[in-house]
Every structure is written in structure tokens, then in C-alpha cells.
Amino acid sequence: MELKYIGAGLGAAIAVIGAALGIGKIGAAALDATARQPEVTGAARITMIIAAALVEGATFFALVICLLMIL
């Protein structure tokens, strides 16, 4: 068994775990902001969606790099 498969699997796992933690923190911060100031709910939601999309984009990029490591 080649080590590149293990490396690609570990890299993908770390990328996905990092994304899950990042999006969890984003959601918690948005809920906290909404709880403290209910009038900023719309702005907090938009900011949360944009930040989550950026995290997901970086995650997909990392996953593509991990898949390219196999080739």
C-alpha cells in the first residue's frame, strides 16, 4: 500500500474537520450576536452565510488538492 493514499485520506479528513469546526464557530457567533442584539439578525445572517461559503470554498480546494495527491 502506498503512503500517498494514507496522506490524501488524512489531509481530506483534517480539511473536513477544520471546516466543521469553523462553520460551527461561525454559527455560534451569529446566534450570540442575534441573542444580544435582535435587530441585527438580518446582517448577522448575511455575514454568516458569506463566511460559511468562504470556509466551504477553502475546504473544497483542500479536498481537490488531496485528490490530486493520489494521481
Predicted confidence at residue 51, as pLDDT, reads: 96
| Contact predicate 65/11, CB 8 Å | yes
Domains in the chain: ranges and CATH = 3-70 (1.20.20.10)
* Element housing 18 (H / E): helix 3-36
Name the pTM for this structure.
0.84
Give the pLDDT of residue 23.
96
pLDDT at 71: 86
**37: CB partners within 8 A, 6+ apart:** none
Confidence of residue 2 (pLDDT cuts 50, 70, 90): confident
